[in-house]
A and B are shown apart, each in its own frame.
Chain A
Amino acid sequence: MLVYDGGAAGMVFNPRSWATHRVSALILCVIDTLRTGPQTREQILGNLLTLSDNEAEIADALDDALREMGSLNLIVQEPASADQGI
């Protein structure tokens, strides 16, 4: 996956579909986190809690982001609840 990080947003190239997408800063964070390897939703959430105190807000935003990434085929969810980046 190729990433252009523009700070508040970014662009991502999906090597599977050869499609290019504009993505939010949160998605950029998720991508960063997943570079180290597959993670569960909870693990990713844990990493993101450093960004804000409002856990519920972050959790919601994360779920939205994961949903969007799934629809763009940027991530694959394995049955054991571990998300895997491309």
Chain B
Amino acid sequence: MERQSYIDSVDPEIAERLVGRREAIRRGASVSGTVAAGLAMGSVPVALVALARDVFAQAPTDVRAVIEFAYTLENLEFYFYDSALNASAFAGARTQIEDDDQNGARILRALQTLRAHEEAHVAFLREAMGFLGGTPATYTAASFDFTGGNGAGSGPFAAAATQAAVLMAAAQAFEDTGVRAYKGQVASLTSNKGVLTAALQIHSVEARHAAQIRRLRQQMAPSLGVKSWIRNEESGISGLDAAGTAAVAAIYAGEGATVQGSVDVGPLAASFGGSAAAGEAFDEPLSFEQVAAIVDPFIVGGI
């Protein structure tokens, strides 16, 4: 019986002793007893270790591959925001942001938020991988080429270091890619409900990030016409070289889909914004291979 398999993944005695089931339910989420206990004790490492064990102890190898993949993407995002906020190479873009009286403070807060969240995602996934055996790779900023230049440092997004608008365009590209990457793994995670749920809890945060970055870009440059949701395959990103334009096109390919499963949503949307709204209302997944091709130029030595 299915419910046994994941209940067995925690030690029920410990869980029950430390935190009553009623308490967990009262908290609104069905937090694992051991996790809740770790949190209650204020111990971040204990909580992380406990939740990783709870959720990932029985994950099969293909699930490990998904987590490892996500771990790499989260590292890319984390080091990008960390560099944007701290690295001397990005001083030019930072100065532009700080000089933006209208939006600068909000942009900085968004970048700080994203940096912190990606750091938490990295830590979580790293713990999870530890429980699956093997040693997670250790990344540094030098592991990545944020210009998308395959390590040459001169790729299509090179201007992100000196121009706030390009930096934000790159952030949008990363976040929208992240949303699609997690979504692309959902169907393969249905066999492991704990990992599925954890992935979704990250996935929706990436979507919040993407929406806010898009909103800030629109406020920085209202002529962009970029929405916080993806209209057709529009990115509001332009002015890149041919390689960059192709890279962005790959990130948004298929986002305008209006057929969902067996349902043609277009006619249903006739009174509600038509086919453009039908596309906006559903975000689309990307496969592992599609995401790998998109992020490969951003990883020194390739993915």
| Bound together | no
Chain B residues near A (Cβ < 8 Å)? none
